[in-house]
Each structure stands twice: as C-alpha cells, then as structure tokens.
Amino acid sequence: MNIKVAKFGGSSLCDASQFQKVKKIIEKDPERKFIVPSAPGKRHREDIKITDLLYLCHAQVSHHVPFNEIFKVISERFLHIAKELSVTVDLHAILQDIQDHIGSGASLDYVASRGEYLNGIILSHYLGCQFLDAAEVIMFHKNGSIDLQETQKRIAPYLDDDQKYVIPGFYGSLPDKSLKIFPRGGSDITGAVVSKSVSASIYENWTDVSGFLVTDPSIIPNCKPIETITYRELRELSYMGAKVLHEETIFPVLEAGIPINVKNTNDPENPGTMIVSYREPINSTGSITGIAGRKDFTVLAIEKNLMKNDISFVRKLLSTLENHQIRFEHTPSGIDSLSLVIKSSELNGKLDKLIEDIHVHCKPDLLEVHPNMALVATVGHGMAYTPGISAKLFTALYESGVNVRMIDQGSSEINIIVGVENKDFEKAVTAIYNAFVK
Ligand SMILES: Nc1ncnc2c1ncn2[C@@H]1O[C@H](COP(=O)(O)OP(=O)(O)O)[C@@H](O)[C@H]1O
Ligand SMILES: N[C@@H](CC(=O)OP(=O)(O)O)C(=O)O
C-alpha cells in the first residue's frame, strides 16, 4: 500500500472544530498513515499562536519574571480543545510537568516545541492513532543539520503495520538526546523529513488556503491558485516570502521526487497545488507562476572606476561583510558598479562601522545607502526564454507609477527580481498580478 504523509498547520488545528475536519480527512483515506501536527495557530486575526506564547514563557523565565499567567492561557487553550473533543487523556499532569520544566530553566527548544507535543497527544487520542514522539524519531546531527539516515532507521519499525501514527512537527533530538527545533514554520520540514524517511507516495500539506496562490492573498483577495509548480519555483517563491511552506521544505523530498500537495482543510475536495520536479515551461502566452516579496531591505550601491580591473575588489568587499557577520541576498552589478542587497535586520547597529570598513578596505568612489527597500520576485519556469515577459512586467510597473530602483535577473532563469521602495510594495505586486494573471 502507498503511504501518504499529512501535515496539518496551526491554522488547521487551532480549535476543536478544526480537529473535527482533520479527523474526517484522515478517516477518508487509509493511505494517510503518518500525521504531522503543528501547535494551535491563530483562531482569528488578533489571536496569538501557542508557539509565540511559549517563546514568551521562555523569555519571562530568562528575565526572572513570573510566567504562570501566560502558561495558564496556554493550558486553558489545550484543556478546552480536549474537553470539546471528549479526549480523556490526563492533560493536567502533562501540563504540570511542562510548567515545572519551564520554571526550572528548560531550554528554548524544549519550551517552544511543547505546543506541537501537546497537540500531538490530543490529536492521537482523538483520532485513535499511536503517538510517536518526534524526540524519538526525528534525529539531528551534532551540528544541527537533519540526520535523514538515522531518522529513517528510527521510523522503519512503524512502516509495515496497519496503525496510523501522529508525529509532532517542529522538533526532534540531537545525539545527546536534548531537543532541537527547526526554524519557525518548521513543521513543514518535519513533514518533508517523514515523507522522505517512509518513501511516501505523496506529502500532503494541509493549510487554510486552497493551495499555493499566485501571490499573498492579503494583497490580492480572491487570488488565483497555482495548479502545478516545480520545486525550484516554489523554493524561489517561499524564499522570497510566500508564507505557505517553509523555504527549506523541498530539500528532503527533492531528490526522491516525492510530490507535495498543498491542500485546504476547510475545503478538502479542492485539488490544491501540486509541487513536482518537472512541468512544461511556460509558453509564449507569457504567463508566470507566482509573485512573492519582502519589505525592509537596505541596498548599498557602490561605484568605483575600473572596478573590474581591481581583481581583489569583490573579495575585499565580501570579506568586509564576513568580518561583520552580515549575510547579503543579491549583488546586482554593472561595469563599474555593484550593489549589495541586505536585509535591514542584518544591519542593526552595524551599518556605520560597515560603511567605514568598506571605505577603508575597498576605497570606492561612491557608496550610497538606500534603506526601506522591498524586493518583488516574479517567478516562472522558462521565463528567461519567453520574449516579452520583461517588457510586460516593467510596463505594468511604469503604468502604476512604481519607481523601479533595482533589477536582478540573477543566474536563475526562472526569476526576475525588482527592488522598489517599501511604500510601493503592494502597488508593485498588484500591478504585476493584474498584468499577468487577472
Ligand atoms: N502565495 C501564497 N499562497 C497562499 N498563501 C499565502 C501566500 N502568501 C502568503 N500566504 C499566507 O500563508 C498562510 C498559510 O501559511 P501558514 O499561516 O503558515 O499556515 P499553517 O498554519 O497551515 O502552517 C495563508 O493563510 C496565507 O495568508
Ligand atoms: N508552531 C511552529 C511550527 C510551525 O510550523 O507552525 P505552522 O505549521 O502553524 O506554521 C511555529 O509557529 O513556528
């Protein structure tokens, strides 16, 4: 029998009524054998995710401030879900144990992971499935990278029975048995790691939208969904800010070619989006796959006459960044000019010294700092080979009055990135969407 892995995000498990939808989905398909839950997410716009409350608990304890009030909110949320679902597991004892551990200075990774752990326990009881603690099966190397071989070995004993298993998302264990979490949003990565480890026929990622949409629905309401997208396109879009899937999700499933199906827990019959290794390139109708972007970058624009003749210039510039431990995103360049696009958060408290050091080591003729920039990526497999795409994109931006401050097609032929001012970000996304999709 094929094995399917089904990951349910925090929005799919935010309250008892969402759990009921999840149960129907799991019961509908016997192949859905491994279920990966996140912690309860937001029930409405102003709500707070359980994971955020757990981070807050840890911060309170590290500042020697009482955390009991916040922990009470967390406990009540889980107890309420369990009560509404008539789940009889003794949550009080488990919650007390967690509270004691947090109070005695448990690690951030332990504290942050408890939302998935508790949700996993409730979900497994509610579904009548086995609970498989991620601490026992999702294994990391000492250096913090995922140990796929060991994970596969640990999950192997559970493959051939007729049980279904709930494995909480977001965390696993280091070789010394301490807990380690993935980056925020990382339950998606757990789902991919489990899929790879069990050679799943498909990795279903259940969320609150009907698949990967062409762009962020908070900018374009009723945005069109993407039917099929390649891993590479997805990687570009999620790296550039499309929130649905964590940007590292594809790596475990990429080599094995396991398709990811993004589906909507609130509309389970909708086919959602299939993420696959290959699809036909976009054709001469000039369509695109998606648009994503982020605000708050700073561009350092550097000019130096005969820059290309100074063979050590780029090395000196990048060494200066390295000395300050600053990561950059893009480096569009011209004959005698080069720009560094850096997340503004990377520069906090470091900008003045960085500029001083660039002047000392690289001696540029001109160095300008442009803060408050946003990047907008338009992504589509085969875009570079399709005449007219750039013209359409830049015409749309021009006609909307968006001032394009930077262009970067990079070496990947599936992406055109433009830099605009933060204030023009939504306008730029809307202009591109209307030109290509509407
Ligand atoms: N391109 C996009 N397609 C779909 N959703 C997007 C996109 N960009 C941003 N989003 C947002 O991502 C949300 C789903 O991601 P997330 O909140 O992490 O879900 P989950 O709780 O299921 O993990 C959607 O509700 C939507 O608001
Ligand atoms: N709960 C964790 C992990 C996660 O992936 O959550 P979600 O699936 O709701 O994005 C977080 O908030 O970061």
Q: What is the CATH number of the domain that holds 342?
A: 3.30.2130.10
Stretch 177-185: mean pLDDT, rounded? 97
Find the ligand nearest to 51 CA: 2
Question: Could you tell me if residue 282 is inside a domain?
Answer: no
Same domain membership, residue 342 and residue 260: no
Structural contact between residues 182 and 171, judged by C-beta atoms closer than 8 angstroms: yes
Range 12-23 burial, b when 16+ CB lie within 10 A, else e: bbbbbebbebbe
- The answer to whether 265 is a known ligand-binding residue is no
Measure 291 CA to ligand 1 centroid, in angstroms.
14
CA dist 286 and 156 (Å) reads 46
For ligand 1, which residues put their CB under 6 angstroms from it? 9-12, 38, 41, 185, 207-209, 212-213, 215-218, 242-244
- Which element (helix H / strand E) includes 431? helix 425-436
Which residues, at least 6 apart from 82, have a Cβ–Cβ distance to it below 8 Å? 89, 91, 122
Same domain membership, residue 175 and residue 243: yes
Measure 249 CA to ligand 2 centroid, in angstroms.
13
Domain boundary among 243, 276, 309: 276
- Residue type present at position 151: T
Find the ligand nearest to 263 CA: 1
Same domain membership, residue 334 and residue 222: no
CA dist 353 and 357 (Å) reads 6
CA dist 332 and 115 (Å) reads 42
Same domain membership, residue 382 and residue 298: yes
- The answer to whether 150 is a known ligand-binding residue is no
Measure 100 CA to ligand 1 centroid, in angstroms.
34
Q: Is 79 exposed, middle or buried (0-12, 13-18, 19+ CB in 10 A)?
A: middle
Q: Whose CA is nearest to atom 16 of ligand 1?
A: 244
Structural contact between residues 222 and 280, judged by C-beta atoms closer than 8 angstroms: no
pTM of the model: 0.91
Classify strands 415-421 and 406-408 as parallel, antiparallel or unpaired. Answer: antiparallel
Which residues, at least 6 apart from 333, have a Cβ–Cβ distance to it below 8 Å? 339
Question: Could you tell me if residue 176 is inside a domain?
Answer: yes
| Count of domains observed in the chain | 2
- The answer to whether 51 is a known ligand-binding residue is yes
pLDDT class for 410, splitting at 50, 70, 90?
low
Same domain membership, residue 314 and residue 255: no
Question: Could you tell me if residue 281 is inside a domain?
Answer: no
Find the ligand nearest to 187 CA: 2
Structural contact between residues 212 and 228, judged by C-beta atoms closer than 8 angstroms: no
Atom number of ligand 1 nearest to Cα 216: 8
- The answer to whether 10 is a known ligand-binding residue is yes
- pLDDT exceeds cutoff 90 at 11: yes
Same domain membership, residue 144 and residue 72: yes
Domain boundary among 276, 298, 329: 276
Of the chain, the percentage scoring pLDDT greater than 70 comes to: 97
What pLDDT is stored for residue 381 in this prediction?
A: 81
Classify strands 202-207 and 260-264 as parallel, antiparallel or unpaired. Answer: parallel
Stretch 204-210: mean pLDDT, rounded? 96
Structural contact between residues 273 and 206, judged by C-beta atoms closer than 8 angstroms: no
Q: Which range, 75-84, 227-236, 277-286, is most confident?
A: 75-84
* Local structure of 267: helix, strand or coil: coil
Helix axes 108-127, 91-103, angle to 10 degrees: 170
Same domain membership, residue 306 and residue 181: no
Give Cα 46 to chain centroid, integer Å.
21
Pocket test for ligand 1, best of 209, 227, 237, 430 (most atoms within 8 A of CB): 209
Same domain membership, residue 271 and residue 305: no
Q: Is 275 in the pocket of ligand 2 (CB under 6 A)?
A: no
DSSP-derived secondary structure letter, 423: G
What pLDDT is stored for residue 279 in this prediction?
A: 76
Atom number of ligand 2 nearest to Cα 52: 12
Q: Is 183 in the pocket of ligand 2 (CB under 6 A)?
A: no
Question: Could you tell me if residue 284 is inside a domain?
Answer: no
- The answer to whether 230 is a known ligand-binding residue is no
Structural contact between residues 420 and 393, judged by C-beta atoms closer than 8 angstroms: no
Same domain membership, residue 326 and residue 272: no
Question: Could you tell me if residue 261 is inside a domain?
Answer: yes
ipTM greater than 0.95:
yes
Alpha helices (H) along 45-90: 50-62, 68-84
- The answer to whether 128 is a known ligand-binding residue is no
pLDDT by residue (tens digit) across 68-108? 999 999 999 999 999 999 999 999 999 999 999 999 999 99
Structure-model confidence comparison of residues 93 and 288, the more confident one = 93
Stretch 221-233: mean pLDDT, rounded? 92
Same domain membership, residue 247 and residue 381: no
- pLDDT exceeds cutoff 90 at 413: no
CA dist 334 and 320 (Å) reads 20
What pLDDT is stored for residue 411 in this prediction?
A: 62
Measure 244 CA to ligand 1 centroid, in angstroms.
4
Same domain membership, residue 33 and residue 8: yes
User: What DSSP assignment string belongs to 199-244?
Assistant: T-SEEEEEESSSS-BSS-TTTSTTPPBPSEEEHHHHHHHHHTT--S
* Local structure of 322: helix, strand or coil: helix
Measure 49 CA to ligand 2 centroid, in angstroms.
8
Q: Whose CA is nearest to atom 18 of ligand 1?
A: 244
Domain boundary among 276, 311, 327: 276
Which residues, at least 6 apart from 105, have a Cβ–Cβ distance to it below 8 Å? 61, 62
Give Cα 398 to chain centroid, integer Å.
31
- The answer to whether 211 is a known ligand-binding residue is no
Question: Could you tell me if residue 369 is inside a domain?
Answer: yes
- pLDDT exceeds cutoff 90 at 286: no
Q: What CATH number did the domain enclosing 197 receive?
A: 3.40.1160.10
* Average pLDDT in the chain: 94
Question: Could you tell me if residue 283 is inside a domain?
Answer: no
- pLDDT exceeds cutoff 60 at 284: no
Same domain membership, residue 347 and residue 220: no
Atom number of ligand 2 nearest to Cα 183: 13
Domain span at residue 339 reads 290-436
